[in-house]
Amino acid sequence: MSLPKPDRDQPELTTSASVQAEASLLFNQMTTSLVSQVESLSPIALAYIGDAVYELYVRTCYLIPPKRLADYHNQVVAQVRAESQADYLQLLQPYLTFSEQEIVRRGRNAVDKKPRRISAQIYQQATSFETLLGYLYLTNPQRLDELLAKLKINSSKLLT
Active site residue 51: yes
Phi and psi angles of residue 100, each rounded to the nearest 5 degrees, phi first: -70, -35
In whole angstroms, how large is the CA radius of gyration of the chain?
22
Catalytic-role residue among 51, 87, 112, 145: 51
Q: Before 65, cis peptide (omega within 30)?
A: yes
CA pair distance 121, 119, nearest whole angstrom: 5
Give residue 152's region: left, alpha or beta (phi > 0; psi -120 to 50).
left
CA pair distance 129, 150, nearest whole angstrom: 14
CA pair distance 108, 19, nearest whole angstrom: 43
Closest CA to 125 of 102, 147, 104, 97: 104
Catalytic residue numbers read: 51
